[in-house]
Structure 1
């Protein structure tokens, strides 16, 4: 389905806002983990390769937060590959959650919310055009 440039621009701005929100969430979560993750039991990491939240928090802060921020900027600035960056970032979010759930199980409403976020982003990005 072909859409006009005005609609594509609106969709890119929606993606920019969604990714900016996700970046803030990832930066906040990563910082919280690095600050000690008060109230988050270390038992959740039993059976995982981690004995603290340091590595997962760094990954969340740097890789996930950085990817979300890059995708947000790409959409707001109308980068030529914003659509591709959006789709790859959504796939990264799916991978992050899949690995997280496989290691610690379902523990938060944020896990399915992230999957829903990824589906919405992929659907919107599908209808935007690389200009």
Structure 2
């Protein structure tokens, strides 16, 4: 059995969650502000007429869950594993939904998928706290 020091998992997990939160907040803001230079044709056949609602979801749900999970991870909170796991699942569901609606349009889609899987893997390695 491989024994990993807690901070060897906690620090990268918290940093990844923080960077993903910044990305989701920036992307959500950009979309809510009109998503200049992003073709509206990508939304054809979807339930959306603009990028506002998906961007609001990205900003609040994805960005918010990432911020919460990062805070809990950095603070060794007893719900850190649960929050990080939920965040990883939400990110994967987000990207699956996005690709199913608009198709493959950016290198960020596979990158975000990998980040979501890394979050789940690091969450699995994160030791449980007792407090």
Match of 2:114 in 1: 116
Q: Which runs of 4+ in 1 moved over 6 A?
A: none
Match of 2:45 among 15, 22, 47: 47
Tell me if structure 2 keeps the 8 A contact 1:3–1:127: no
Q: Which segments of 5 or more consecutive residues in structure 2 lack a partner in the other structure?
A: none
Match of 2:103 in 1: 105
Match of 1:3 in 2: 3
Match of 1:92 in 2: 90
CA distance in 1, matches of 2:116, 2:32: 25
Tell me if structure 2 keeps the 8 A contact 1:74–1:85: yes
TM-score of the pair, normalised by structure 1: 0.94
Tell me if structure 2 keeps the 8 A contact 1:97–1:115: yes
CA distance in 2, matches of 1:54, 1:82: 30
Match of 2:22 in 1: 24
Number of residue equivalences: 129
TM-score of the pair, normalised by structure 2: 0.94
Q: Which segments of 5 or more consecutive residues in structure 1 lack a partner in the other structure?
A: none
Structure scoring higher RCO (CA < 8 A, sep ≥ 6) equals 1
Provide the aligned C-alpha RMSD in A.
1.2
TM-superposition CA deviations, 1:45-100 (whole Å, max 9, x none) = 00000000110010011111001101110110111021121111101101000111
